[in-house]
Amino acid sequence: MHELSICNALVEQVERIAAENRAGRVARIELLIGPLSGIETDLLRRAYPLAIAGTVAADAELVIETADVVVRCSQCGSESSVAPNRLLCGECGDFRTRVVSGEEMILKRLELVGSDTKL
């Protein structure tokens, strides 16, 4: 299951940050996921409890935000937010665009408990 390994990698990253900040536990994990990342958020949510069990994030709330898809047009140079299934330039309508945002999964924010640091 692809999403479980993504979740495990995420929890490893969270554990590392929590350790660096000497946090006792993690209260909340906020993710920004691009619609073109190929990550199924439903599956990710299902894998999440398995990944956090027994870790410093064991009772952390998971918040998933969907990122916009942004393309840059090779013809007119403008950047526009588009629908994930319609990667056309918002200015001139050309199809020769490059995705500049929407393919990523970003750990946007962590809420740590037992530490003053907020990320």
Q: Tell me which residues touch Zn ion (CB under 5 A).
A: 73, 75-76, 89, 91-92, 94
Shortest distance in whole angstroms from residue 67 CB to Zn ion: 21
Helix-then-strand count for the chain, H and E: 2, 6
Q: Which residue number, 76 or 113, has a Cβ lying nearer to Zn ion?
A: 76
Pairing of strands 69-73, 25-33: unpaired
DSSP secondary-structure letter at 44?
A: H
Query: Cβ atoms within 10 A of the Cβ of 61, count?
Result: 12
**Smallest separation, CB 96 to Zn ion (Å):** 8
Which of residues 68 and 94 has its CB atom nearest to Zn ion in the complex?
Answer: 94
Taking the least distance from each CB to Zn ion, the nearer of 11 and 73 is: 73
* Sign of the Cα pseudo-torsion (69, 111, 20, 14, in order): negative
Query: Shortest gap between Cβ of 99 and Zn ion (angstroms)?
Result: 14
